[in-house]
Amino acid sequence: MAITGIVRFLSDQSPVFRHPLSKFKDLREESSRDFSNISHAQDFSNIGQDDLTVDELKIVSEEQLVEKALDITFQDDELTKKFREVSDECLDDVAEPVDVVEEGGDDVYVDEKGGVLDKNTLELNTTTLPKVEHKMYVSPDILVRCEPLIEILYAKVFTNADASLDVYGDIRILDLEGSKNFVFYERGRFDSPQHICSSSTKNNFLQLQSPKKIPTFNEPLLVVDIKNVDTGVVVARGQKPLLETTHHPSTPNDYEKLFTLQFEGDAHGGGLVDTGARVELQCIAFTFGVCAQVEMFLYKDDDSSESQKTINEDDGGELGVEVFGLICAKCHPSLLAKGCYENHMFNVIQDEHEWVGLGTQINLFKNLVAVPAYSQLEISLDLSGYEDDEFSIEGTACFQPTNGDGGYKDIRGVNGYYVRVYVTWCEPSNLNKRWCEEDMIDGFCLMPHSPGLYASHLLEVFSLFIARPNEEEVSLYGSVKILDYRGWCTVFSYSKNEPYFLSRGCNLLPLQGPDRALQPLIFFLMEIDLRDIDGHVDIKGFVNSCVEIDERQRPWFDKRFCAVVKLVNEKSFAAVNYTLFSFAVEAIMEVNFLFKGGSCAHVKIYGDVIASYDKLSYLTNYDAEFFQRVLFTRKKANFLEVEDNYQLPRYVVAVPMTCSLLTKVNLSFQTNLGTHRVGELVKFQIGEPYRIIKSDFVDIRIDVDWKGLPYV
């Protein structure tokens, strides 16, 4: 809500919001730093800091973001007061009204149709309530920073024998590129074996656990080693790459994948092997995933607030219940079959019941789950009491994704028992770093081999991914705008009368801008407002920077980020892929087609012109597709027709100061006499003015004008 106020106010008051970084003298005065000794820039390698565990993640709310922006940006009291007035006036544009009634002393929020909204997460239920009394506002859009994630949904043990057995061992995913190890199952032979009934379809699940860190993968390898406790015989052993989960640019509709892997005993691994046994694992991969940390506590109504704690050690111990049953996490993928995602967080059979004290936390085997950033998380409980018919809790609670505190909800059972479910949504693993004194980055530096050229912080938006139901052909209209300290900059804009046609199997929008360098400084904001003529797409929302961006820059800069934007009740969504470069210069590119012999009538052009960088790695297909800048792209069926020498629109690309600019040309020129193909990769050192790609039919000249701070 308040973000829109910032946006509109800054647009109207652009002379006031002229940041001092536009002048070197003011920069030194503002930061109280001496930049005179800067001789070289910091490199773009990852800082060697330990990752945080999930429990140590720092969560920042939108309210904190707004307050921080106010403190940094608006120093004058009158200016701040005016900003708040403007912000309040803008609420109608970013929120939907709901009504509030009183029920039992607590506020209960309802919409205009009488549906109940939970006061913690403000999600719609189906209960009908009396007439309303006053109004409040709920933001209708979702913004989630996300990343590619792989989740192991279940692991089942199968043997030839019908009898039960005890097993031990481990299941883990190794990231060969990052030398990381993520444990999903680990049991000792004597201290923590698990009892399995292989003949039962319910009791043959291994009790998977959550890794201590948010798992990230470049070259994932799944490793399984499960053995029989009594005999030491190998039930299942082996390793398999998970490369099939990697997004592939030539395959449409693959941003979700579900697959099953089988592991059997490996006689070559040494030791005895149960030749009829196997372990079956089901995995799911999300290109746009986010992790949710879940905590649950058991309470009872007739316990007062004093007794909602661990009770009465003087009376011989705490009050509680022996419980068994199933707790699952579910979600709603866009492409996969409904109901395919069922993630067991707690799966205890009756014979292995567990004690849970009133007011204490339920020991979930998995408390960190990966879900799509565009789907709500549904927590489902089915718990019973061991030899206690008075205890039973069954129900669900739903949480919308975000990056921060998701609030809590109560799932109620019989006789006053209920479970309180807390959800905390995690930031991407790139931001999962410990705080340190070296988190700040200098504001600018002199290019070592280009006298007079200064590099500074720049934002590069690489691509915009559009998902819609059934990936139908759509005619899009609307705009995508970016706000930095210099004002608004449009990167995509089409009218309803002249929409952009996005064909089936295509998801990436061609960006038309920016027409200048994007300087984030203490904040940036992207506004997305896209629809299609037939109603298949309705995307509206904001991508904003974090409160930490001005004081904790290393985790934010020189990393690849993706943010999903969608409306709560819509199936379509947009994914924005971007990077904040700590030191970069501006490359203004012009691509000219010079046909041999002058003009050439009715030439049909299709193919791609793509810009990238030589020292930044593109280890996966996901990186290669989403984090390269597409300057020109046309399918054969949607060719560009020209009748003379032609110049593509001017493009502005941010280039990191330690890199060279790569331009990959892969174009076809079709005439009545045949098709001429031109494919070449050209490399520009910073400062290099032009390159020419020669062919028999057409010469392609690429001119680059290099600019540094202040980029004018």
Residues 354-403 have pLDDT tens digits of 999 999 999 999 999 999 999 999 999 999 998 878 899 999 999 999 99
pLDDT at 39: 36
Nearest to 124 by CA among 133, 113, 134: 113
Residues 285-319 as b/e (b if ≥16 CB within 10 A, e otherwise) read bbbbbbbbbbebbbbbeeeeeeebeebeeeeeebe
For residue 157, the 8-state DSSP code is E
- 338: pLDDT strictly greater than 60: yes
pLDDT more than 90, % of the chain: 41
pLDDT at 544: 84
CA–CA distance, 411 with 418 (Å, rounded to integer): 6
- 208: pLDDT strictly greater than 80: yes
| Cβ proximity of 698 and 665 under 8 Å | no
CA–CA distance, 7 with 487 (Å, rounded to integer): 9
Helix (H, G, I), strand (E, B) or coil at 97: strand
CA–CA distance, 480 with 527 (Å, rounded to integer): 6
Burial class (CB in 10 A: 0-12, 13-18, 19+), 80: middle
| Cβ proximity of 562 and 577 under 8 Å | yes
pLDDT at 106: 39
Q: Quick one: average pLDDT of 698-704?
A: 94
What's the Cα-to-Cα distance from 157 to each of 162, 168, 208, 234, 278, rounded to whole Å? 12, 11, 12, 12, 6
DSSP 513-532: --SS-B--TT--EEEEEEEE
Question: Which pair of tokens denotes residue 32?
Answer: 């109280």
| Cβ proximity of 502 and 492 under 8 Å | no
Q: What angle do CA 140, 418, 391 make, to 5 degrees?
A: 145
Parallel, antiparallel, or unpaired for β 194-197 and 164-175?
A: antiparallel
- Alpha helices by DSSP H, 251-395: none
| Cβ proximity of 373 and 289 under 8 Å | yes
What's the Cα-to-Cα distance from 435 to each of 188, 290, 545, 548, rounded to whole Å? 35, 22, 18, 11
pLDDT tens, position by position, 400-417: 999 989 999 999 999 999
pLDDT tens, position by position, 230-242: 888 899 999 998 8
What's the pTM?
Answer: 0.76
CA–CA distance, 669 with 646 (Å, rounded to integer): 12
Q: Quick one: average pLDDT of 208-225?
A: 85
CA–CA distance, 216 with 174 (Å, rounded to integer): 10
pLDDT tens, position by position, 159-179: 876 667 889 999 999 887 667
Indicate the pLDDT class of residue 308, thresholds 50, 70 and 90.
very low
The H-or-E segment that residue 28 falls in is helix 24-31
The H-or-E segment that residue 26 falls in is helix 24-31
Q: List CB contacts of 430: < 8 A, sequence separation 6 or more.
A: 147, 555, 559, 560, 561
Give the chain's radius of gyration (CA, Å).
Answer: 29
- 152: pLDDT strictly greater than 50: yes
pLDDT at 165: 85
Nearest to 539 by CA among 568, 497, 507: 568
- 597: pLDDT strictly greater than 50: yes
What's the distance, Cα to Cα, between the start and end of the chain in Å?
A: 33
CA–CA distance, 236 with 274 (Å, rounded to integer): 8
Provide the β-strand partners of residue 384.
324, 392
Q: Label each residue of 319-349 as H, E or C.
A: CEEEEEEEEEEECCCCCCCCCCCEEEEEEEC
Helix (H, G, I), strand (E, B) or coil at 263: strand
Q: List CB contacts of 153: < 8 A, sequence separation 6 or more.
A: 282, 283, 284, 341, 342, 343, 344
- 285: pLDDT strictly greater than 70: yes
pLDDT at 84: 39
How many CB atoms neighbour CB 688 within 10 A?
A: 14
Q: Quick one: average pLDDT of 310-323?
A: 62
Dihedral of the alpha carbons of 334, 340, 342, 343, in degrees to the nearest 10: -70
CA–CA distance, 418 with 409 (Å, rounded to integer): 10
Amino acid symbol at 172: R
Parallel, antiparallel, or unpaired for β 134-138 and 124-128?
A: unpaired
Burial class (CB in 10 A: 0-12, 13-18, 19+), 449: exposed
Helix (H, G, I), strand (E, B) or coil at 84: helix
Q: Quick one: average pLDDT of 196-225?
A: 81
Residue that the structure tokens 């080693």 belong to? 225
Q: List CB contacts of 105: < 8 A, sequence separation 6 or more.
A: none
Residue 585 phi, psi (nearest 5): -120, 170
- 272: pLDDT strictly greater than 80: no
Half-sphere exposure at residue 498, Cβ-oriented, CA atoms within 13 angstroms: 3
Question: Which pair of tokens denotes residue 131?
Answer: 């007439």
pLDDT tens, position by position, 603-620: 999 999 999 999 888 877
CA–CA distance, 401 with 517 (Å, rounded to integer): 32
pLDDT tens, position by position, 510-565: 888 899 999 987 788 999 999 999 888 999 999 988 766 666 667 788 889 999 99
CA–CA distance, 37 with 35 (Å, rounded to integer): 6
Indicate the pLDDT class of residue 692, thresholds 50, 70 and 90.
very high
pLDDT at 120: 42
- 27: pLDDT strictly greater than 50: no
Question: Which pair of tokens denotes residue 289?
Answer: 């995933």
Burial class (CB in 10 A: 0-12, 13-18, 19+), 426: buried
pLDDT tens, position by position, 39-56: 333 443 333 344 444 444
Parallel, antiparallel, or unpaired for β 474-484 and 454-467?
A: unpaired
Q: Quick one: average pLDDT of 129-145?
A: 50
Question: Which pair of tokens denotes residue 409?
Answer: 């909800």
CA–CA distance, 227 with 497 (Å, rounded to integer): 66
pLDDT tens, position by position, 427-460: 888 787 666 666 677 778 888 877 788 999 999 9
CA–CA distance, 633 with 667 (Å, rounded to integer): 9
- 497: pLDDT strictly greater than 90: yes
| Cβ proximity of 296 and 280 under 8 Å | no
Half-sphere exposure at residue 108, Cβ-oriented, CA atoms within 13 angstroms: 16
Nearest to 185 by CA among 365, 330, 327, 328: 365
Residue 89 phi, psi (nearest 5): -70, -20
Helix (H, G, I), strand (E, B) or coil at 2: helix
